[in-house]
Chains A and B, each alone.
Chain A
């Protein structure tokens, strides 16, 4: 079937098997390899993207579900003001280790910082609880997201949205 959607703020359209996983569409049809496959069953969050502004595991989303919707990947988020802020906040404490899970963490924490943004450790832990990291022990990830929440109010008002 032909589906149309907005990918990283650009309108796109492809002819695709309606069951094809969004993850494969991104990687194979659009060359957006920032979205990673690790478990393929929604249990790790390495393939997290935003679907209509909400974080989802793209390995469990089918082509049919994105028709007419908006998809943002780590590549797109990296260009957004809050995305840039987060990247700097992950970079500063050397939070990134192997990095395979980090595009997913970037997407989920972007959603948190953008829609909530309260510097609250419990809330941050909960919001990131669908993303698994095996390297870091998470502490530096929490530290980075807390830092981003702290710095978000210092951004220009139009960049915070």
Chain B
């Protein structure tokens, strides 16, 4: 194993460019250390990030809340700014892992780890968050919904990292919110499925709705087809048979040691129904 501890962002990119072969960016280390212990990561190079304070913190800029990729979950949960602006987002993350893991785990790590169960991603999806990607010569923004390409596959280019998460400051305003994480227990749990939702009702009609799920696909996804189907309907107009047929096009639950595909599917349906007050 080779290690690099760049002194600055610039040095980070210079170092990264020089490394051939597979490499890992180590942020909080809550997942990579487990992978090392289990022999999944063996000889690959490791670049330490966590000391780069420029990627930490939560701040307001124009009409966005910017969360540094290296912001810890504890930092997010305790942030006064988020308490004011994005309380739903903040509250939902209380269920992330455990208070001990929250101290070290980072939001960037949760996203870049690429797990289908990543807790923060369904929330970011419904909040229309964007990721700010940094590379040596370029900064670019991509919607989180376009970040994942497949299981542990990202839009990230070689030597590009997630620098920050941008959430519109009024992303929650005017919406009814919904978040459920279903695990084998109430803390220290990996989601069997998770669902986040925002909806706005006007004149009994669903004027706007945003739904996103985790652990039901190769990566967390928005349910655009279901949303499309639901928009501009009153609750009574919803044909749940049709809703399910749209949902089936968008989720691909599996059976594993943790749960069963039939269960995951049905609970997803039930939770959507409950969110729609049906």
Residues of A within 8 A of B (CB): 1, 18-19, 21, 40-43, 45, 48, 51, 54-57, 59-62, 64-65, 67, 108, 126-132
Contacts and interface: CB of A to CB of B under 8 A. Distances in A.
A16 to B, nearest CB: 12
A48 B102 CA distance: 13
A132 B37 CA distance: 20
A55 B101 contact: no
Given A42-B101, A55-B100, A131-B100, A126 B3 contact: no
Count class of interface residues, chain B:
20 to 34
A55 B188 CA distance: 15
Interface of B: 1, 3, 5, 26, 28-30, 33-34, 36-37, 46, 48, 50-51, 74, 94, 97-101, 103-104, 186-188
A42 B34 contact: yes
B99 A43 contact: no
A19 B46 contact: yes
Nearest to B36: A19
A54 B50 CA distance: 16
Given A42-B97, A56-B100, A62-B29, 14 more contacts: A18-B5, A18-B48, A19-B1, A41-B34, A42-B98, A54-B103, A56-B104, A60-B104, A126-B94, A129-B98, A129-B99, A129-B187, A130-B100, A130-B187
B99 A60 contact: no
B33 A62 contact: yes
A60 B26 contact: no
B186 A42 contact: no
11 contacts: A19-B3, A43-B188, A45-B100, A51-B104, A54-B74, A61-B104, A64-B26, A64-B48, A64-B51, A67-B51, A128-B99
B260 to A, nearest CB: 23
Q: What 6 pairs between A and B have smallest CB-CB spacing?
A: A130-B98, A129-B187, A130-B100, A54-B103, A41-B34, A56-B103
A132 B30 CA distance: 18
Given A18-B48, A19-B46, A41-B34, A57 B26 contact: no
B interface, over-half SS:
mixed
Contacts of B48: 18, 64
B100 A18 contact: no
A60 B34 contact: yes
Contacts of B50: 64-65
Given A54-B74, A62-B26, A42 B103 contact: no
Given A18-B5, A64-B48, A130-B187, A40 B37 contact: yes
